[in-house]
């Protein structure tokens, strides 16, 4: 009888231990998935923030009379948003924040002249953008693709660690396009 009691307590201990281990694994996996989902959302919003600069060129050119101040405020908001995401991504992963910063600088370089020309012309809501202001959409797409590649690296924990080491050793001065 004593032997049966010991076996029952052993079985109960094994079942309880298994339940605790299963709960811990489930908690870890759920936390990992939630963090990955949060990072995906962060990456998507950060990229959208940069691409707003491209759209801003069109908005400036196609502005209606009296919209100058609203568009200037929008440009200011976009700038603040870009800086917000740059800071946030630097906290998440320094190498990735630097890549975002390089991406942002490249987009600024590509859109700067177009914005300047757009401000120098009178706004025309029906204006054909490409006729007066040229943007290098191929280059913008290449930069966006490179940021997407960096984002996939950021979302994978092994690659994220490798990129931190890689960028620390090699130092990245310009975007890879």
Q: What is the pLDDT of residues 65-104, one digit of tens each?
A: 899 999 999 999 999 999 999 999 999 999 999 999 999 9
The model's pTM is 0.77
Angstrom distance (rounded) from CA 27 to CA 61: 52
Is residue 56 within 8 A of residue 73, CB to CB? The reply is no
Q: pLDDT over 90 for what percent of the chain?
A: 51
More confident residue, 8 or 173: 8
CA-based nearest residue to 43, from 151, 145, 149, 143: 151
Is residue 103 within 8 A of residue 48, CB to CB? The reply is no
Angstrom distance (rounded) from CA 32 to CA 39: 11
Angstrom distance (rounded) from CA 174 to CA 38: 27
Structure tokens at 145: 């693709």
Question: What does pLDDT average to over the chain?
Answer: 87
pLDDT value, residue 163: 84
Q: How confident is the model at residue 124 (pLDDT cuts 50, 70, 90)?
A: confident
Angstrom distance (rounded) from CA 99 to CA 85: 12
Residue bearing tokens 């190498």: 95
Report CA dihedral (139, 115, 95, 147) to the nearest 10 degrees.
Answer: -30
CA-based nearest residue to 82, from 46, 43, 108, 107: 46
pLDDT value, residue 129: 59
Q: Which helix (H) or strand (E) holds 107?
A: helix 94-120
Angstrom distance (rounded) from CA 173 to CA 30: 37
């Amino acid at each position: 009888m004593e032997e049966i009691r010991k076996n029952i307590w052993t079985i109960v201990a094994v079942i309880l231990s298994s339940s605790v281990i299963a709960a811990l694994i489930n908690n870890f996996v759920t936390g990992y998935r939630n963090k990955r989902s949060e990072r995906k959302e962060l990456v998507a919003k950060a990229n959208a923030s940069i691409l707003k600069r491209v759209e801003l060129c069109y908005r400036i050119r196609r502005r209606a009379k009296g919209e100058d101040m609203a568009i200037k405020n929008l440009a200011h908001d976009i700038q603040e948003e870009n800086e917000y995401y740059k800071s946030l991504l630097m906290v998440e992963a320094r190498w990735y924040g630097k890549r975002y910063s390089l991406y942002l600088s490249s987009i600024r370089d590509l859109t700067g002249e177009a914005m300047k020309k757009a401000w120098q012309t009178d706004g025309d809501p029906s204006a054909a953008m490409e006729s007066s202001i040229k943007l290098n959409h191929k280059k913008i797409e290449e930069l966006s693709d490179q940021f997407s590649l960096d984002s996939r690296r950021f979302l994978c924990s092994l690659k994220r660690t490798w990129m931190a080491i890689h960028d620390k050793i090699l130092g990245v001065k310009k975007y890879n396009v």
